[in-house]
Amino acid sequence: MEMPDAALLDAAIGRARKALLGQQKADGHFVFELEADVSIPCEYILFNQFIGRALPSGLAEKIGVYLRAQQSAEHDGWALVQDGTYNISSSVKAYCALKMIGDTPDMPHMQRARAAILAHGGAAATNVFTRSLLALFSLVPWHGVPVMPVEIMLLPDWFPFHIAKISYWGRTVLVPMMVVHALKPKAAPGCTLSIDELFLVPPQDVRHWPGSPGKSFPWTTIFAGIDKVLQVTEPYFPRKSRQKAIDAAVAFVTKRLNGEDGLGAIYPAMAYSALMYLSIGMPIDDPRIQMILKAIDKLVVIHDDYAYVQPCVSPVWDTALASHAIMEADGAEESTFDSVKAALAWLKPLQVTDVAGDWAWQRPGVRPGGWAFQYGNAYYPDVDDTSVVVMAMDRAFDRWPSIDADSFGASIARAREWIIGLQSKNGGFGAFDADNDREYLNAIPFSDHGALLDPPTSDVTARCISMLAQLGDRLENSEVLRRATDYLFAEQERDGSWYGRWGMNYIYGTWSVLCAMNVVGIAHDTPAIRKAVAWLESIQNEDGGWGEDAESYALDYSGYQKAPSTASQTAWAVLGLMAVGERDNPAVTRGIAYLTSTQGEDGFWQEKRFTATGFPRVFYLRYHGYSKFFPLWAMARFRNLHKGNHPSVLMGM
């Protein structure tokens, strides 16, 4: 295939670069909207109604516009992703939220939604997290929700279930939720909701509530039996030990409240922390509750004609990735230096060096040194963000030595030490914790989403390898790299791809791993790499782009699921191919042609499809920044490899 016209490519890169620079905030950072399915805005509506808090004028109406627009014309319900399959839990939440803000059951869209809900088993068929919300409103009985006794807070750390053994997102949500479930608070006066029309049989008559779709022998049976016992005995637990457990849970949350960034800096944890405080009798005007409400309100995105609520914000991730893209697209302009220096100067003080977070339960001897995903989340930094920030700092310092005036070198060294300290026993890296891989815990009835853990994954491990190798570590002198690389070879799928935990899915994982394999020095003709290249070539769409559907996360592994091309997934594919020497591969040329031909007049790309992952099969994400910096990065790298003095990729990403 012919090379793209050099002038057209330069113009496309220039437009994208200018547009991206135009999004930088005055203090140097970048942050783009982070959108999930309708669950979070629905929960926001219901939460505020439950606590008796009025929303600003017009906000509920704008959220209603958003919710109605997301209803599928194909199946009349709500999906987890753009153009996705029907999801009963999201659909029930959307119906409840719309009814709460005034939509009546006889409205056409509500009639269609109700019919679809009933056709899929009714509101009783929702997942545990949704049924927990319904139980708060007395819409399902509490015995319809698996028991998570707050006495868990008193268990010793050697016990099979302990909050240290579950993921950061699991513990920050479950700890306050257990208090709420123990105390069962009532909604504020005047907050009433009835959804009797969504049940096939009255909820009090339901005998079998749905469990996890993923069965694990023998743990599913064991935990189901334990839950049956707890359903009967939990109301009779001693009051003294219950109060002691509640006090322990409240202390846990209070220690980690995290100011106006909120507990765990994620919406569900924030909402349940507020409900926890209200449950124990705090007035709503207590400073702690008011601080939580401010944190929650910061997640609201308001446009001219609609509004929604983000699950969290992503400024550190966006700033680091945007910095890489801008450096890749550098045309020797002074604005590149100024932009990157400002971005890194903003990132530097956000490094957590003074708080040993929850990760220290597993690694008590390691000094803190990571970055979190959000503006502030000191107890929960992650190695993925940290690796990308470090690679950006190192890359900038390599280009402009004077940029180290603010001692980025010390930040890099501290981060490297922290990441090495969080390597798991199997050689891989999880996102937030080491060895958070006790799979039996995903079989507890309350974990029907199957995402209670943070085990090592290929994409995160690859990023850590990329960082260490970019900093100069080599296989011949680094046991950490050897173990991590061996882990990646063992994780390759039979078709040649790698699983992507935090991006969708095998395209993302394969891109991540190929970048790591290149920078760590694995020969490009190694069979594993050739197999991965062949796989990427084989799944390219007819239009030259790449796309992958969320259905590729199905429980029974069947690999990649084809989807329409997206700018971000196309960028990952060509970046992965170029990393392992495929600069002149016709597939890469076609991918670059797809990107140049689909660029908008504003310099960016339209990308409505979700291409990132919160929890596989349960919760997906649409990073609005991905279509702004990844395509620019890919096009610029293609140009640089053809024009530069070195035909291979030297950076970790």
Three-state secondary-structure class, residue 565: strand
Helix (H) or strand (E) segment spanning residue 307: strand 307-309
CA distances from 308 to 50, 62, 81, 84, 128 (A): 18, 8, 15, 19, 23
Are the beta carbons of 510 and 576 closer than 8 angstroms?
yes
For 534-553, letters b (16+ CB in 10 Å) and e give ebbbebbbebbbbbbbbbbb
d(Cα 152, Cα 566) in Å, to the nearest integer?
A: 44
**Residue 384 annotated among the catalytic residues of the structure:** yes
Q: Give the pairing type, strands 562-566 and 546-548.
A: antiparallel
CA distances from 152 to 96, 142, 161, 596 (A): 31, 18, 8, 55
Q: Is the dihedral of CA 75, 64, 565, 489 positive or negative?
A: negative
Largest CA distance in the chain: 77
* Residue 33: how many other CB atoms lie within 10 Å: 15
d(Cα 379, Cα 280) in Å, to the nearest integer?
A: 24
Contacts of 188 (CB under 8 A, 6+ apart): 49, 50, 51, 52
User: What distance lies between CA 445 and its chain's CA centroid?
Assistant: 23
Strand ranges, E, within 86-205: none
Are the beta carbons of 450 and 478 closer than 8 angstroms?
no
Three-state secondary-structure class, residue 308: strand
Instruction: Report the amino acid identity of residue 582.
Output: E
Contacts of 470 (CB under 8 A, 6+ apart): 391, 394, 395, 519, 651, 652
Are the beta carbons of 244 and 177 closer than 8 angstroms?
no
Secondary structure, 3-state, 596-633: HHHCCCCCCCCCCCCCEEEECCCEEEEECCHHHHHHHH
CA distances from 480 to 220, 272, 486, 514 (A): 35, 39, 10, 18
Where would I find the H helices in 370-478? 383-399, 408-421, 458-470
Catalytic hit among 37, 318, 382, 384:
384
d(Cα 199, Cα 398) in Å, to the nearest integer?
A: 63
The residue whose two tokens read 């189901």 is 224
The residue whose two tokens read 């296989």 is 475
Residue 497 structure tokens: 């791809």
Q: Which residues are known catalytic residues? A: 384
